[in-house]
Amino acid sequence: MADGLSGNRDERTQMIKFHDQLYAFTGDSNAERYDPVFDSWASLKSLTLSYTKRAAVVRGQIYAINVDIRAKKTTIERFDVGLRSWETVLLSDEGYRGNSCVVAAGNCLYVLGGQHLQKYGQEVATSERFDTVQNKWEEIADMQQERSFAFGVATQEKIFVAGGRGRGIGALKTCEVYSISTNEWQFIGSLNVPRLWGGMVCVNGTLYVLGGSRNEYTVESYDPTVNEWTQKTAIPVDEIPEKEKPSWRGCALKLSKAVLDKLN
């Protein structure tokens, strides 16, 4: 397997890996797909995603959680590849929060923290998960700290969440880990710099954090043996004019052997 990292210019951009390709959903509802074999991007009008939706891949399918502010409801949607359209799976009151962290693990979509949409955008620690097999919501333990605009990743039956905005605090450096088996959260070592809307990826068992809406171009990795984050490198952005330096996120693209053979 080979791993790669990719960045994007819009802080609201979401990036997911699907069928050996990279999908990017920008804040203006556009969707693009990167094909590593042809080293090219293609526009996908049928897969557009508004900035109120959060997408993730569960059991080989693309799911999205859409927060409908007018209806005060949350819609779970699944993308039908054959029909090239979104289909509604469930409309409910659960998960109705803004700017939550959404992570896929096992058969579930985890919705972590966010902002209470009926209390002036107040940050919350509330956490839930949607079971895509049983098509139902389940309550899980709240996070240790209220946070919105956070980011995370699942690996080895655990979910790691970092950064975001705290209630009355601003950008956060704190990080937490959730044990799926015990339904418990606990703090781990903090980031070196606070980040909003960053990206967290797991590459060959190692956690990396990169990007964010504070124009932060450093990359940090987590060492569980000492419970610390260490700066590993910086993203080269010298060619971007200072006034145009964007916020960005990233994701890991793992390529199958079949794709690597084509590349070779």
**pLDDT, tens digit (0-9, with 9 covering 90-100), for 22-74:** 887 765 557 888 888 888 888 877 676 665 678 889 998 999 898 888 888 99
Helix (H, G, I), strand (E, B) or coil at 106: coil
Query: Running DSSP on this structure, what letter comes out for residue 261?
Result: H
Q: Please give the CATH topology (third level) of the domain spanning 2-263.
A: Neuraminidase (2.120.10)
pLDDT band at 19 (very low <50, low <70, confident <90, very high): confident
Whether 41 contacts 48, CB under 8 Å: no
Q: What is the pLDDT of residue 211?
A: 81
Q: What is the pLDDT of residue 117?
A: 79
Highest mean pLDDT among 15-19, 44-48, 106-110, 198-202: 106-110
Q: CB-based burial of residue 189 (10 Å sphere; 0-12 exposed, 13-18 middle, 19+ buried)?
A: middle
Q: Where are the domains of the chain?
A: 2-263
Q: Calculate what percentage of the chain has a pLDDT beyond 70.
A: 78
- Sheet order of strands, 175-179 included: 151-155, 158-162, 175-179, 184-188
In DSSP terms, 114 is beta-bridged to: 124
Q: What is the pLDDT of residue 237?
A: 64
Q: What is the pLDDT of residue 100?
A: 92
Q: What's the rounded Cα separation, in Å, for the pair 123 and 164? A: 10
C-alpha distances in angstroms, 109 versus 57, 63, 79? 9, 8, 15
Q: What is the pLDDT of residue 249?
A: 66
Which residues 6+ apart lie within 8 Å of 43 measured at CB? 30, 31, 32
pLDDT band at 120 (very low <50, low <70, confident <90, very high): low
Q: What's the rounded Cα separation, in Å, for the pair 98 and 258? A: 39
Mean pLDDT of the chain: 83
Per-residue pLDDT, averaged over 176-187, amounts to 98
| Predicted TM-score (pTM) of this structure | 0.84
pLDDT band at 142 (very low <50, low <70, confident <90, very high): very high
